[in-house]
Structure 1
Amino acid sequence: MNYEESLAFIHGRQYKGMKLGLDNITKLMELLGNPQNKLKFIHIAGTNGKGSTASFINQVLIKAGYKTGLFTSPYLERFNERIKINNQDVPDNQLSDITNLIKTKIDEMEDKPTEFEIVTAIAFQYFYEQQCDVVVLEVGLGGRFDSTNVIEKPLLSVITSIGLDHQAFLGNTLAEIAFEKAGIIKENSQVLLYPQTSEVEAVIHRVAAERNSTVDKADFTELKRITNSIDGQTFYYNGYQELRISLLGEHQLKNAAIAIEAIEILRHAGLTIHEDDMREGLAETKWPGRFEIINRDPLVVIDGAHNLDGIHALVLNIRQLFSGRRIIGILGILKDKDYQHMIEEVSPVIDQFITVTPDNPRAIPADELASYLIEHRIPAIAADSYDAAVELAYQESGEKDVICAFGSLYYIGEIKRVVQQR
């Protein structure tokens, strides 16, 4: 198979859907010789912030001289983004070669793996073949039954902010969802926790105790922002002075604090990471699609906010950075999200909505979403394509206005492409 054929195979209809349990991924990895057991991992679960936290840790490890693999999802513009070594996407030819190998193993399996299981296996095989020193591994969904959880004890398990999302798979309460996330905790392991509600923390601590694992937690009372602009933020954290990140939003300061705590734990685990490595790594971290400014004239922001917690962060960012400016929102969203409450939360800061249909079978059609907004006396126009949405937004925007595309990671990469082509 060439590259295009490999992608067609990965995304094949027969691999769609979701299966709870690790039986299939375990079998597939056994057929490959369990390459994941020859790697060292930092395993990261959570509802929000896990990708940003992974990116911070990844960049610091690279600055420290470690050959670092990074596995994240979903991608914004190109599939290969999901699997990186030292920030370089997996090359097309190597992706094809490994997919061919994995296809031969899948042919031996009676129960076929899902698409995400296949992608996870590709990542493990690639990181093994390239002899990565360490891999930063982001959970896809949940934790307990996520295919990434086939790994043995990692160097560190990180649990970021937990909120209500994917309730159909993970449960309807924070405690139920926390239990699924806590599923990544292994026996006699080290856990790092983002400060949570008491019910969530109780679940994490209970699971950790059952598995004889220790839990450390970041201390956000030791976090203080110094400066904040569209060019980045500076802050103090727990004795470290004048730290800087380019990622925007108060929530990213908290994710950076989690990364700092992770680095401290990894140092005690034997990794050599100097303070300059940490400082430079944090400052150089990029995480596309998360309140990312992609154009300055007009000012265009894309943000993957796709649940209530993400919308809370988006609204706070808009109020802090763009107070008094007119905001044109491009909105595409999926039916299985709590879109009514998301719209209720975000509509006070958006002056004009332009709706689009994300390329996903679960998407709300643009005209249906626009009708919903108009029924609730919220100005909205439906666009029949991403190009049309950007064109409408540009037409609507004045000199000091801001265009903000948000609501689903499944389409903001396309908005970025359209804006950059202009």
Structure 2
Amino acid sequence: MIRIAHFSDLHYGHKTLAEADRCFGAAIDQAIEARVQAAVLSGDATDHALELHAPAALRLMGQVKRLAEHCPVLMLQGTFSHEPPGALSVFRLLGARHPIHVADRIGQVVLSRLGQWLPSDAWRFDMLPSAPLALFTCVPTVNKAVVAATIGATNAATSVSEHLAALLAGFAPIHREARALGVPTVGVSHGTVFGSISEHGVPMAGFDHEFTTGALFAAEAAAFMLGHIHKHQGWTRDHGAGVQCIAYAGSLGRFHHGEQGDKGFLIWEVDADTASFELRATPARRTMDIVFEGRPDLVALRDVVAQQSLSGTSVRVRWTVAEEDKQAIDRAAIQALLGDAAEVKLEGRIVPVVRTRAAGISQLTGLADKVRVWAQTTQCNPKPLLGCLDRLMSDSPEAIAEAILQDSTGSSACGCEPASDEDCVVLSEHACA
């Protein structure tokens, strides 16, 4: 049996450095304490392309070197937008007590009992090297652009999963051979499993996902360690000869608001025919979403603040208002109420005003006729509008203003029912014209 620490989706970057480094550092401490014999990073160690002198790159290399001082490390190529091709090559040059293997092509690698990585020359071994401690099958991120260029863009999405399924089935014979010799077998990949759940609770049910659980189980590896989805989840199958496990470690930190589930890494125990894993939590940041259907209620917001401490919490306030109310949002007051939070994000959704056009209104010559057609289109009562219009047309502005100032009954100056704000705006526009 071999004990392996499985880390994934570290996402070291300029903006994520504090969260990523705090969580990865704590995870390495726990892995060393657990006396793991090997460590696997299953993709997306970086959040974007990093220059070598960038603080995030230096911290990541320092942490990986610290991990390699304890045990051999395997790093898998992740999503190209996060880890550009070749971004992991520098880790091969880190000098540590134990070697670091970078898996940036499809292939297999044996961890020997002497602690050395012995990679296959081709996509798989024809015969296992001597004294293997464990066999790792590596399937890094597939470049779909290459697939599209080869077979055409129309069929590229579905063809990737079909070719990967055939590839995984091709690893089964060597895995069976290793199992017969008592050697633990481990698959490592980065991609989406059909039916998995994203960190925001969304089922991954598209036709362009790389894997199915059936295809992964068909490889007949005892353990399959996955990266890419930030929510920890797993699948288990007892195939008679033993227990197979597939699992996402999830992201080490909480990098976005609304992410569900605990954050951490996995401690695997893998034997020739069985596998099991345990989630170990990391000190990921706490996030909170406060959502208002209309304008933010400062009283309700004050109650939320009074009920719990926001120290160290990243708070996101969301609201939805009509376009005419967007200037009424007091962002400074919201920021002041949430002053104890580690981070405050204000996100307002503005619902645009939709105006209905009255067909044929431009062909009418009389203003009163235009008001009647407009009122019919917008389902307004035309009587108060026409009354106000008559007053606008017959009296001077001074007389109308004086009548409004003297009026104390709440009725309109023309003696009709008060018109709505929108009606008054329209009438004012006509009067000005």
Common topology (TM > 0.5): no
TM-score w.r.t. structure 2 length? Answer: 0.29
Greater strand proportion: 2
Which structure's CA Rg is the greater one?
A: 2
Greater helix proportion: 1
- Could you say which structure has the greater relative contact order, defined with CA pairs below 8 angstroms and 6 or more residues apart? 1
TM-score w.r.t. structure 1 length? Answer: 0.29
